[in-house]
Chains A and B, each alone.
Chain A
Amino acid sequence: MISEQSVVSDRKRSAPSLAPLFRFKKVYAAFGLLLVLLFFVLPVFRLLLLSVLEDGAWSLSHYSGVLREAATWTAVKNTVYITAGSTVLSLVLGVSLAWVMAYVHIRGKRWMQLFVFLPFIIPSYITTLAWVQFLGKSGPVSSLFGWTPDLYSMGGMIFLLGMSHYPLVYLFTIEVFRKIPRELEEAAKTAGAGKMSIFLKVMLPLALPGIASGGLLAFLSSLDNFGIPAFLGIPANIRVLSTYIYEQVVGFGPSAFARAAVLSVLLGTIALLGTFVQWLLLKKSRVTETVMPDREPRIYVSPLRQRLLEGGIWLFLVVTSFVPFAAMGALSLIKAYGLPFHLENLSLKNYQYVFLTDPKTGSALWNSVSLALLATVVCLAAGTALAYIRYRNPGFFTKLAELCITIPYALPGTVLALCMIFAWMQPVPGWNPGLYGSIWILLVAYITRFFVLQVRGSYTAFLQVDPSMEEAARTSGAHAWVRWRRVLLPLIMPGLAGGALLVFLMVLTELTVSSLLWSTGTETIGVVIFNYEQAGYTTYSTAFATVLVLAILAGGLLFTAFSSRWERKVMKKQ
């Protein structure tokens, strides 16, 4: 039956000309780029503009005023010390852990990895709360040793920032370590190189790009971090730029916004300097990588050493990622702050107050969850669309668009919050849409800040899909809707969901941007915990934070279960 040629004649063969559509394509592209510039780039320009204007005229008086103050330079100095110190700590922890996890044969790597991620998905201000409880007067360390280090100090901030950001370094470096072909090391060995020169001349130069990128990210995150210096530095009177900007804005002064803008430019300059150092490091590196990361261990140690190593890593992970939170959870059950941890002092009173008595908590939960949902939906739809355009038309304009949407994420949160205020207070001179002071400014700010996370997540998901997957569907006659529904979506789903979950979690627990943009009635979870802490209600903040940590863990576990189930059932990966 098949041997005869198909009936060609009675088939409809109309194909409308697509030319007009393609002419529109340029218009769409221009329009899209305009939107990107409007939402992501213009706010930054408004900030820069504000710092050099006085009463409508060009002036550098804000700069000269702010730069002449000794307080400014103290804040700059503190910022530099703290970020540099914490970056070094993150690098040491992240790189050594990544090296061991990538190369050495030890058991239980999957579980270890999960513990490494914990400080990454739990917001740093909650980690700080946990550590403060852990090392506090009524905490376990104090009752065991009778002495605790003081976290309300430079050292404490460096320590916590380092602990919060070493997973970033770890994540970047482990992939690079795994992608270095083991043959290169073996080739060096057969060429007679010793262990030390192999490490210095082969491994280090090859791993440098990953280490430098991870280090830069840790540096930028420390610079950007508001929670840790706000929780530890403000009580100890140690100011860094991000908290100093915050104090300017909430303190309102005659020229509060202009001064904050100048400080923001300073902060942005330090961020740029860090990026420049990374560029210098990477300028000369040429990377050849195996396409697939090599997950097999390369170094086998004696069973005794292996057990010691495993024990050491577990001790580190449990002490840094689990015990503080357990301490926080336990202390949230204490009736009044400062009481010893005895059975008769325990109750659920704090939880009762936080979740049943205080109306702010309920509304904050509602605000944060609905903001997170809305932001996630917007980012998921628009971000995936942008990622698809970028995937299908790799070129100058889509690259430029991606660069633009990265700016708000790369900027320190306090700086972005200021940009948002300037941009949306009066988007067009003389017209105030009433965004600032309402909950919508938070939504706009969150979307602006975290949009890039979804775009990156979706883009990576698309990159995993070979173009021939879609091409095969096209030559099978499937039009766009069928291709998306039957082929693309099932393949990119885990990537999309991962990006969306990240956006959701980030928005849910956001503190930096929220702390400058909230107003009465639009408090978010982060703001409420921060306000409790500032008012000295530590037991309340720990109770709220404990619930939040449990919710985040549940979300993370759900997602892991979902994606592994999806891989097994849908993607049929063995």
Chain B
Amino acid sequence: MIQLHNVTKQYGPFTALHSVNLELKRSEFTAILGPSGCGKTTLLKLLAGFMKPSSGEIYMDGRLSASKSELIPPEKRNIGMVFQSFALWPHMTVYDHVAFPIRHHRHTREEWKQDIVARAQHVLKLVGLEQLFDRYPSELSGGQKQRVALARAIAPLPDILLMDEPLSALDVELRMEMRNEIQRIHRETQASIIYVTHDQGEALAMADKIVVMNGGKIEQIGSPEEVYTKPETAFVASFVGKCNMIKGKWDNGQFCPEAFPWESWPDIGITDSLKKEGLCPVRPEQWQLAGGSAEGLKGTVLSVQYQGKEVHYSVEVDNEIWIVHQPIFARRFQIGDTVSVSVKAAKRIEVPVF
């Protein structure tokens, strides 16, 4: 229902988006994931209609909604938006915030406009704020503010919900709670959600589909599991899976690391595009550590971080530093220990094809 054709956005000499092509389906939860400055916020602003692309077209429900010369402004689109800073109006109560879009949104159902109070109450109940309808933003906690922002966005039941890092202003506990909340709202409203974030955990946990962006370009589009376990580019491998990138040669499904030509590693599910580049991304949990006398590459433990459910090591192997995660019950090593590092034998994981 949303299509982007060769969308480019330039700010003066800086190109924020390079010819982006993207198709988003109805009722889908899409996360746009990338580091800061990757163009994800620009993409969201284009989808909201705050600005025009420098070239290319954006179609919504088959209608041209933005191009170099045309623009349907945000107030005429069937959207709702949750802002990073919440963007609550300090002079309005919780009720006013929810009633505002019900009254003014062009796509609110007529019966809701007839009885704004009933609709507002319903929405506030949905986000668990029915008790607080006469409070002002300054009287709310961070989580409550976030719920008001959500309620305001979903009140007119828009087709598309745009979310700009909505959880980044909250503390960790609250973030986990709000993840559930947003997923529930997605289930109940069936709106298409476009969720911009730099937190790969959030994207993996909530989205149906992840669009990984870097440097104004789309790196990979896929389900959370595909993006995590089958990265197509080095960037996705290191950004999403936090992989250690090992250079070497692929031959007959066996990997031969450049620094250790005598080694031969099994294919742990590497995509063809990375194989062509001669790369083998290994996620920290895919390593196996053993004592110095065991088989594998010899390395020295540089640091040990106890994390509760696992132990994180950094191990120096031939002047490279690899990050290794080991289960808590595995053998422990100390700083300075010599260890043997090897890749865990690949277990074939069937990834549901997206």
Q: Interface on A for B, CB 8 Å cutoff?
A: 1-8, 11-13, 15, 17-19, 22, 466, 468-469, 471-479, 482, 486-487, 490-491, 570-574
Number of A-B contacts (CB under 8 A): 115
Closest to A8 in B: B159
Chain B residue with the shortest CB-CB distance to A476: B101
| Complex Cα spacing A573 to B138, Å | 7
Q: A476: which of B63, B105, B122 is its contact (CB, 8 Å)?
A: B105
Measured between beta carbons, the chain A residues less than 8 angstroms from B76 are 15
Min C-beta distance of A7 to chain B, whole Å: 7
Inter-chain contact A13/B138, CB cutoff 8 Å? no
Q: Is B63 a contact of A466 with CB atoms below 8 Å?
A: no
Which residues on the B side are within 8 Å of A473 (C-beta)?
89, 100
Q: Given the interface contacts A15-B76, A475-B81, does A570 sit within 8 Å of B91 by beta carbon?
A: yes
What separation, in Å, do the CA atoms of A8 and B62 have in the docked complex?
13
B61: chain A residues at CB < 8 Å are 8
Residue numbers in A under 8 Å from B85 (CB-CB): 466, 468
Within 8 Å by CB of A18, from B63, B70, B153, B190, lies: B70
Distance between Cα atoms of A487 and B152 in the complex (Å): 14
Query: Taking the complex as formed, is B319 at the interface, i.e. its CB lies under 8 A from any CB of chain A?
Result: no
A3 and B162 CA atoms in complex are apart in Å by 18
Q: Is the CB of B75 within 8 A of A15?
A: no
The CA of A441 and the CA of B40, in the complex, are separated in Å by: 54
Chain B residues in 8 Å Cβ range of A471: 48, 50, 74, 81, 83, 87
Given A2-B122, A6-B109, A15-B72, A472:B188 Cβ within 8 A = no
Q: Find out whether the CB atom of A477 lies under 8 angstroms from the CB atom of B162.
A: no
CB distance B138 to A574 under 8 Å? yes
- Give Cα A116 to B78, complex, Å: 53
Q: How far is the CA of A23 from the CA of B317 in the complex (A)?
A: 63
Q: Among B26, B84, B122, B156, point to the contact of A477 (Cβ < 8 A).
A: B156
Q: Which of B50, B69, B73, B126 contacts A19 (CB 8 A)?
A: B69
Q: Nearest Cβ distance between residue A414 and chain B, in whole angstroms?
A: 43
Of A6, A22, A472, A573, most B-chain CB atoms within 10 Å: A472
Contacts of A572 in B (CB 8 A): 90-91, 136-139
Contact across chains for B107 and A490 when beta carbons are under 8 A apart? no
Show 21 A/B contacts (Cβ-Cβ < 8 Å), sorted by A. A2-B188, A4-B190, A6-B158, A18-B70, A18-B73, A19-B69, A19-B70, A466-B87, A468-B85, A471-B50, A471-B83, A472-B152, A474-B50, A475-B48, A475-B77, A475-B81, A476-B80, A477-B108, A486-B100, A572-B90, A572-B139
Determine which of A3, A13, A475, A478 lies in contact with B79 in the assembled complex, contact meaning CB atoms within 8 Å. Answer: A475
Contact between A3 and B188, CB atoms less than 8 A apart = yes
- Taking a contact as CB atoms under 8 Å apart, the answer to whether A472 and B104 are in contact is no
Q: Which residues of B contact A15 (CB under 8 A)?
A: 65, 72, 76
Q: Known contacts being A7-B109, A471-B87, is A479 close to B75, with CB within 8 Å?
A: yes
Taken together as a complex, chains A and B put the C-alpha atoms of A468 and B169 apart, in Å, by 15
Chain B: minimal CB distance from A568 (Å)? 11
How far is A571 from B81 in the complex, measured between Cα atoms in Å? 23
Contact partner, A475, options B27, B71, B80, Cβ 8 Å: B80
Cα–Cα, bound, A2→B87 (Å) = 25
Do A5 and B27 touch across chains, with their CB atoms under 8 A apart? yes
**Distance in angstroms between the alpha carbons of A571 and B136 in the assembled complex:** 9
Q: How far is the CB of B76 from the nearest CB of chain A, in Å?
A: 5
Contacting residues, chain A, for B84 (C-beta < 8 A): 468
Is the beta-carbon distance between A13 and B63 smaller than 8 angstroms? yes
Closest to A572 in B: B136
Pairwise interchain contact A491-B91, C-beta atoms closer than 8 A? yes
A573–B91 Cα distance when bound, in Å, is 9
Complex Cα–Cα for A472 and B149 (A):
9
When distances are taken between beta carbons in the complex, the residues of chain A under 8 Å from B74 are 471, 474-475
* A3-B188, A6-B109, A13-B63 known, 16 other contacts, Cβ within 8 Å: A2-B189, A4-B190, A11-B78, A19-B70, A468-B85, A471-B81, A472-B81, A476-B80, A476-B104, A477-B104, A478-B75, A486-B100, A487-B89, A490-B91, A491-B90, A572-B138
Tell which of A7, A466, A474, A573 has the most Cβ of chain B within 10 Å: A474
Contacts of B107 in A (CB 8 A): 6, 11, 477
Closest to A18 in B: B71
Asked if B157 is at the interface of the complex by the 8 Å CB criterion, the answer is: yes
Shortest CB-to-CB span from B114 to chain A, Å, is 15
User: How distant is the Cα of A7 from the Cα of B78 in the complex, in angstroms?
Assistant: 11
**Complex Cα gap A469–B26 (Å):** 28
Considering only residues 124-177 of chain B, those with a C-beta below 8 Å from chain A are 126, 136-139, 152-153, 156-159, 162
Contacts of A574 in B (CB 8 A): 138
- List residues of chain B with CB within 8 A of the CB of A7: 109
Specify which chain A residues have a CB less than 8 angstroms from the CB of B77 in the assembled complex.
Answer: 475
Chain A residue numbers with a CB within 8 Å of B105 are: 476-477
Contact, CB under 8 Å: B152 / A476? yes
Min distance, Cβ B177 to any Cβ of chain A, angstroms = 21
Q: Verify if B106 is at the interface (C-beta below 8 Å from A).
A: yes
A482-B122 Cα distance, complex, nearest whole Å: 24
- Residues of B near A486 (CB, < 8 A) are 100
**Chain B residues within an 8 Å CB radius of A479:** 75, 104
Nearest opposing residue in chain A for B45, CB measure? A471
| A321→B274 CA distance, assembly (Å) | 77
Output the nearest chain B residue to A472 by Cβ-Cβ distance.
B87
Asked if A475 and B153 make an inter-chain contact with CB atoms under 8 angstroms apart, the answer reads yes
The answer for the CA separation of A571 and B73 in the assembled complex, in Å, is: 28
Q: Which residues of B contact A570 (CB under 8 A)?
A: 91
Q: For residue B182, give the distance in angstroms from its CB to the closest CB of chain A.
A: 15
Digitize B298-334: 1 where CB-to-A-CB distance is under 8 Å, 0 elsewhere: 0000000000000000000000000000000000000
- Tell me the minimal C-beta distance from B74 to chain A in angstroms: 4
In whole angstroms, what is the CA distance A491 to B137 when docked?
Answer: 14
Cβ–Cβ < 8 Å partners of A4 in chain B = 190
Give A1 to B118 CA distance when docked, in angstroms. 13
Whether A477 contacts B75 by the Cβ 8 Å rule is yes
Q: Closest A-chain residue to B50, C-beta based?
A: A471
Q: Among the listed A17, A475, A477, A478, which residue makes an inter-chain contact with B70, where contact means beta carbons less than 8 Å apart? A: A17
A478 near B91: Cβ-Cβ < 8 Å: no
State whether B139 touches A2 (Cβ < 8 A): no
Chain A residue contacts of B156, Cβ below 8 A: 476-477
Write the B90-116 contact mask toward A (1 if CB under 8 angstroms, else 0): 110000000011001111110000000
Closest-by-CB residue of B relative to A22 is: B69
User: Which residue on A lies nearest to B135, using beta carbons?
Assistant: A572
5 nearest A-B residue pairs (beta carbon): A477-B105, A476-B101, A468-B87, A475-B81, A472-B87
Instruction: State the Cβ distance, A291 to closest chain B Cβ, in Å.
Output: 14
Q: What residues on B are CB-neighbors of A482 within 8 Å?
A: 104
Nearest to A569 among chain B residues (CB) is: B91
Q: Within the assembled complex, what's the spacing in Å between the Cα atoms of A12 and B108? A: 11
Report the bound CA distance from A571 to B90 in whole Å.
5
B167 to chain A, nearest CB (A): 16
* Complex Cα spacing A474 to B48, Å: 9
The closest CB in chain B to the CB of A478 belongs to B104
A475 to B49, CA, bound (A): 9
Complex Cα spacing A15 to B78, Å: 12
Least CB distance from B66 to A in Å reads 11
B72, B89, B137, B162: residue with the most chain A Cβ atoms closer than 10 Å: B89
Of B104, B158, B190, which one neighbours A3 at CB under 8 angstroms?
Answer: B190
